[in-house]
Amino acid sequence: IESDVDGRIDQVAEKRTFVLPQRGSPFRITVKPRTNYVIEVDQTKRGRPAGLAPDLGLSPEDIRYNADRKLLMARIHNVGSKAVRGVRVAFYDGNPEEGGRLIGTQVIPNIEAPNDLEPKTVTVGVNYAIEKPTDIYVVIDPDDKIPDEITTFNNGAHKRLPEPDDAGEPAR
């Protein structure tokens, strides 16, 4: 706790040791209102050196539905520095962690790394008829088989489909 506004710790409120499983991992800190804190984080052990590693990802904007063809599609990006081969992508009706139903899977045979600074993406799809607004989840590498991926935080996304049109009606 920092009580005299000099920027230095006056009282240690809590001391913890923890291991971050991967770069970018969050950790929680509980603070009292109207109390100044100085938070120090020390690296006590060197992490593994950064090398070439894949990093596949998608966002809700990468999930689309073509009602005429009854086709769910997901654009998968490789934002890492190493190509990936044979990656499975799974589509779910509902959250898979809460019992969502598997719609289908596709395998990406190859997705190169953007080492030339040009985006590298592959679009995969599964046939599925959406009758009413539905939460569609897409999970990259659901079996966690990509070795040494930079982060897995971007390996899943969801979107409510079909999207409403401008009049507030569900899109076809």
pLDDT tens for residues 98-121?
A: 999 999 999 999 999 999 989 999
**What pLDDT, in 10s, does the model give residues 118-172?**
999 999 999 999 999 999 999 999 999 999 898 999 999 999 998 765 334 454 4
**What pLDDT, in 10s, does the model give residues 34-55?**
887 777 888 887 776 667 999 9
Percent of the chain with pLDDT over 90: 60
Residue spans of the domains in the chain: they are: 56-161
Per-residue pLDDT, 146: 95
User: What span, in angstroms and rounded, lies between the C-alpha atoms of 152 and 76?
Assistant: 13
- Buried b / exposed e along 84-120 (16+ C-beta atoms within 10 A): beebbbbbbbbebeeebeebeebebeebbbbeeeeeb
Per-residue pLDDT, 166: 36
Helix, strand, coil percent content, the chain, rounded in steps of 5: 5, 35, 65
The arithmetic mean of pLDDT across residues 71-99, rounded, is 97
Instruction: Return the CATH number of the domain spanning residue range 56-161.
Output: 2.60.40.10
Return mean pLDDT, the chain.
88
The arithmetic mean of pLDDT across residues 50-66, rounded, is 94
The arithmetic mean of pLDDT across residues 55-74, rounded, is 97
111 versus 33: which is more confidently predicted?
Answer: 111
Residue 66: closest CA among 165, 162, 159: 162
What's the pLDDT band for 3 if we cut at 50, 70, 90? confident
- Buried b / exposed e along 4-23 (16+ C-beta atoms within 10 A): eeeeeeeeeeeeeeeeeeee
Question: Considering the entire predicted model, what is its pTM?
Answer: 0.71
pLDDT for residue 74 is more than 60: yes
